[in-house]
Amino acid sequence: MNCSIIIPTHNRLEYLKKCVNSLLKLDYEDYEIVIIDDASTDGTWEYLNALENNKIKIFRNDENLGSSITRNNGAKVAKYDIIVFTDDDCVVDRMWLKNLVNRFFRNTKKAIEKQEISFVFGSTYYIRKGYKGYFPERLVNIIGWPGGGNIAFRKDVFEKIGGFDDFYHYYNNEDSEIAIRAVANGFCCRKALDAVVYHQAMNWTVKSLFNSAKNVSVWPVLKKKYPYYYRFFRPSVRYGMFINIEDYFYILILPILIPLLFIRYLYHGKYDIKIFFAKWPIYLFLRRYYIYKEAIKNRVFML
């Protein structure tokens, strides 16, 4: 089955180079790589223009539009019926595409006979399977969840549901929303846990850490919009009310927790005191603030 792989990129040239190199080594016959430069200023466009490979198609936004709109633009120019998304800071396994696409067609005893598979998502590991990093490393392990760095759609389904909704970019959660929206509209999905991509090494900054505090505040919004489907992929929402309930435990034991974590932080050679206290405890309280704010705004009882 022919596939179009879509990668949005913005000012992450060194990550992108590794991503492209891995995509060109895929064990798969017929695929194209659609790369959309979202108005980068770090030499990305010059690098892309220097690539000489018939599989690669490049496009550029005149202004920075964000990942959601850029992915949608990539889907519009994709020529094949299966469109696959990964991110510029990922490296794909050699068998990734084959294992992902096979799930569209592989029959199982529990397969739904009258409904075709509309989208498939795989597994994402930080650096490698089993790797255990330490803060401020930005650990990314997404197993059994429809993340935007490892998901494929039938193109007609993607168009019917309207693509990624840029509104959810604020929460860094447009990938969760599109998957829930697809299920809510009656489309069937499947996991491909053996379709693996690896997130490249990356550290948190104070800015990126605080921005990520908004992530889970999407759940009051999604609960209001998709009351019967928002828990389909089993998010960290207990009893339909408590979001990341472990935060409350951490807050209760902060006087004991912070000294222990600080010793551990220093032991592993990390000395940026600002980033440590940005997480412990500011990030915890900031995350709760965003959750309460969205719950009140949407008139949804969630804590």
Same domain flag for 19 and 166: yes
Same domain flag for 164 and 231: no
pLDDT in tens, 158-202: 999 999 999 999 999 999 999 999 999 999 999 999 999 999 999
pLDDT in tens, 97-109: 999 999 998 665 5
Same domain flag for 88 and 224: no
Same domain flag for 24 and 127: yes
Domain end position, chosen among 203, 231, 259: 203
Same domain flag for 185 and 234: no
- pLDDT band of residue 111 (cuts 50, 70, 90) is very low
Quote the number of domains for the chain. Answer: 2
Mean pLDDT of 273-297: 97
- pLDDT band of residue 205 (cuts 50, 70, 90) is very high
Query: Beta partners for 151?
Result: 85, 121
Same domain flag for 212 and 196: no
Whether the per-residue pLDDT at 263 is higher than 70: the answer is yes
Q: According to the model, what pLDDT value does residue 105 have?
A: 83
Same domain flag for 221 and 80: no
- Contacts of residue 127, defined as CB under 8 A and 6 or more positions apart, other chains included, come to 133, 198, 199, 200, 201
Same domain flag for 243 and 268: yes
Q: According to the model, what pLDDT value does residue 178 have?
A: 98
Same domain flag for 11 and 90: yes
CB 7 within 8 A of CB 87: yes
Tell me the Cα Rg of the chain.
Answer: 20
Same domain flag for 122 and 56: yes
Q: According to the model, what pLDDT value does residue 114 have?
A: 47
Q: According to the model, what pLDDT value does residue 113 have?
A: 47
**Cα–Cα distance measured from residue 289 to residue 150, given in angstroms and rounded to the nearest whole number:** 30
Domain of 161 in residue numbering reads as: 3-203
Domain end position, chosen among 180, 203, 226: 203
Whether the per-residue pLDDT at 257 is higher than 90: the answer is yes
Mean pLDDT of 265-292: 95
Same domain flag for 249 and 125: no
Q: According to the model, what pLDDT value does residue 283 have?
A: 97
Q: According to the model, what pLDDT value does residue 110 have?
A: 52
Q: Which residue has the higher pLDDT, 1 or 48?
A: 48
For residue 210, the surrounding DSSP H or E stretch is helix 206-212
Average pLDDT, the chain: 95
**Cα–Cα distance measured from residue 292 to residue 107, given in angstroms and rounded to the nearest whole number:** 44
pTM of the model: 0.94
CATH of the domain at 102: 3.90.550.10
pLDDT in tens, 46-94: 999 999 999 999 999 999 999 999 999 999 999 999 999 999 999 999 9
pLDDT in tens, 124-151: 999 999 998 999 999 999 999 999 999 9
**Cα–Cα distance measured from residue 116 to residue 104, given in angstroms and rounded to the nearest whole number:** 8
Same domain flag for 181 and 297: no
Domain end position, chosen among 163, 187, 203: 203
Mean pLDDT of 271-297: 96
